[in-house]
Amino acid sequence: MLNIKLSEFPFTIKLAFICFYIFVILGFIFAHLILHFKLEGSFTPQDFINYYKGNETLLKFQKTPLELSEVSHFHSFISPVIAFILAFFFSFSKLSENMKIIVILASFISSLFLVINPWLLTLGPTFFVYLKYISSIVLVISYLFMGACVIYEFLKNR
């Protein structure tokens, strides 16, 4: 087992991680804004269902396989990269191995659901809307937790 302490990383690596993490936070903010505008300010389950499955009375159309593929393609590349970078640094934290395993798995599993949720919502039963809520919450919490732990240990005295 490597005995590497986050507080002993060179300043340049700490700086690069903190800058990266700022962009992760900005990504969360802009993702929230995109949903806010696409769903017209409402985040109810019915609004998500209407957005993906369509609603004739609101003149909203079901997402096409092309639209779903475009969203999934982007998310299937960027989400695991972000999860990996956070998990890599987080793996050097002083938390127990079991806690690190749980948080890292949660981040990757929720990233997977981020990719497949649009398909499940569009082509599957409407109860999958709740999986979207759960996976989104787990994703945000796991990313924020990993980043906060890393930055805390970066800034901690030796």
pLDDT, tens digit, for every residue of 45-90?
888 888 888 888 878 888 899 999 998 998 899 999 999 999 999 9
Distance CA 60, CA 146 (A): 38
Three-class SS state of 91:
coil
Distance CA 110, CA 104 (A): 10
Average pLDDT, the chain: 90
Residue 158 has a pLDDT of 55
Residue 38 has a pLDDT of 77
Residue 66: both structure tokens together: 């092309």
Residue 143 has a pLDDT of 96
Lowest mean pLDDT among 15-19, 25-29, 102-106, 143-147: 25-29
Q: What is the pTM of this model?
A: 0.88
Distance CA 144, CA 86 (A): 9
Residue ranges of the domains in the chain?
6-155
